[in-house]
């Protein structure tokens, strides 16, 4: 599971902003919403006749693969860099 998300915003003619977001406290705050989303996903799997256990397992594999991922978004002269560790 990812531990820290680093966000850096490069702005033109200014110093870059850098944020470190710890994943565990944010996950604990969002836990009630995550439970509702998982229940909704299970209901959707049942409605569309998809194996709920396999779908949740695939979702967990995607989350487990996130450490080491980098997302670079550029719009004009502004860039947002997101690194997951």
How far is it, in rounded angstroms, from Cα 32 to Cα 38? 10
pLDDT tens per residue, range 4-39: 999 999 988 889 999 999 999 999 999 999 999 999
pTM score, whole prediction: 0.71
| Tokens read off for 42 | 């299970």
How far is it, in rounded angstroms, from Cα 26 to Cα 50? 30
| Tokens read off for 1 | 């599971």
pLDDT tens per residue, range 71-85: 999 999 899 999 999
pLDDT of residue 8: 95
CA-wise closest residue to 26 among 51, 4, 59: 4
pLDDT over 80 at 1, yes or no: no
| Cα end-to-end distance, the chain, whole Å | 9
**How far, in whole angstroms, is CA 15 from its chain's centroid?**
26
């Amino acid at each position: 599971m990812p531990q820290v998300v680093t966000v850096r915003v490069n702005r033109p003619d200014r110093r870059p902003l850098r944020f470190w977001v710890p994943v565990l406290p944010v996950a604990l705050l969002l836990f009630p919403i995550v439970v509702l989303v998982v229940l909704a996903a299970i209901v959707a799997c049942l409605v569309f006749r998809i194996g709920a256990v396999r779908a949740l397992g695939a979702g967990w594999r995607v989350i487990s693969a996130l450490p080491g991922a980098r997302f670079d978004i550029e719009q004009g002269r502004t860039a947002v860099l997101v690194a997951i560790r």
